């Protein structure tokens, strides 16, 4: 299936949905149309049984997303940049069970960094730049950046970036673990796809259940996480794929996952 509009494109193949913010002339900045489109994209990917992983990127070769569209803000359209279900960009707070990979093709600044941080993994080009420069304009990175960045970077590095608003180049971000894979520009989408396909080789329900527990690792103590793991494992044991994995191993063949 595929969908296309002026600001967002979605296309799925081989269980991987690619979602593209399509405003290259505006450095893929978020306006109301992008926010509504991304919220719809999450809904579509969650409902589509054929989608097992999602790649999110920006059109063109300059920016993943420059964050909030300043023209929209100056026109008094701040509220339109968020949705009730998803928060900023219709995305950063929206519940998702499936893995999302940010394929960062250039600048990912302010809200752009926060969108990338809301994904589960980041693949980036060597020229990519991240940053939360909101404090330089008297603002706060209030769409997840202030707590997600310290979760993935050493405390001193994260706090320095938050308080100075300095840019964070991709090679340094990769060194500190913000980025999963760093590649030359021509390899960005092939590498993001390889990563997505590696995920899709596994039982999709087991991946989602595992991811659901792992996402809570920073929020819950060990006892609560153990309970969450046991609950997820019990539910997974009721699936058809739970039986298919061992059966395929015994029969010495590749498993045929159904997502059921």
Q: Digits of tens for pLDDT over the chain (260 positions)? A: 445 456 778 887 889 999 999 999 999 999 999 999 999 999 999 999 999 999 999 999 999 999 998 777 766 667 789 999 999 999 999 999 999 999 999 999 999 999 999 999 999 999 999 999 999 999 999 999 999 999 999 999 999 999 999 999 999 999 999 999 999 999 999 999 999 999 999 999 999 999 999 999 999 999 999 999 999 999 999 999 999 999 999 999 999 999 99
Q: Where are the alpha helices (DSSP H) in the chain?
A: 32-47, 70-74, 111-118, 145-152, 155-164, 170-175, 188-200, 204-214, 222-236, 240-250
Q: For residue 135, what are its two tokens? A: 């404090």
Active site residue 11: no
Contact 101, 110 (CB under 8 A): no
Catalytic residue (choose from 39, 46, 127, 134): 134
pLDDT of residue 10: 82
Polymer length of the chain: 260
Catalytic residue (choose from 46, 114, 227, 238): 114
Report the predicted TM-score, pTM, of the whole model to 2 decimal places: 0.93
pLDDT of residue 1: 41
Neighbouring C-alpha atoms within 13 Å toward the C-beta of 1: 9
Q: How many CB atoms lie within 10 A of CB 120?
A: 17
């Amino acid at each position: 299936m595929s969908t296309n509009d002026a600001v967002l494109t979605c296309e799925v193949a081989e269980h991987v949905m690619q979602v593209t913010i399509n405003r290259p002339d505006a450095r893929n900045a978020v306006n109301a149309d992008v926010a509504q489109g991304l919220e719809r994209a999450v809904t579509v990917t969650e409902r589509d049984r054929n989608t097992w992983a999602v790649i999110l990127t920006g059109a063109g070769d300059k920016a993943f997303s420059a964050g909030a569209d300043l023209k929209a803000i100056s026109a008094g359209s701040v509220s339109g940049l968020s949705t009730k279900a998803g928060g900023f960009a219709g995305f950063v707070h929206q519940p998702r069970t499936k893995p999302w990979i940010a394929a960062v093709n250039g600048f990912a600044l302010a809200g752009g960094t926060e969108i990338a941080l809301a994904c589960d993994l980041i693949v980036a080009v060597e020229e990519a730049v991240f940053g939360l420069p909101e404090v330089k304009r008297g603002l706060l990175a209030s769409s997840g950046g202030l707590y997600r960045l310290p979760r993935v970077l050493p405390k001193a590095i994260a706090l320095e970036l938050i308080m100075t608003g300095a840019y964070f180049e991709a090679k340094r971000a990769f060194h500190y673990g913000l980025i999963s894979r760093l590649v030359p520009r021509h390899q960005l989408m092939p590498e993001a796809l390889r990563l997505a396909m590696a995920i899709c080789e596994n039982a999709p329900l087991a991946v989602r259940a595992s991811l659901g527990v792992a996402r809570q690792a920073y929020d819950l103590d060990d006892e609560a996480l153990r309970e969450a793991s046991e609950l997820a494992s019990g539910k997974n044991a009721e699936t058809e794929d739970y039986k298919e994995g061992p059966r395929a191993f015994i029969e010495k063949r590749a498993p045929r996952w159904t997502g059921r």
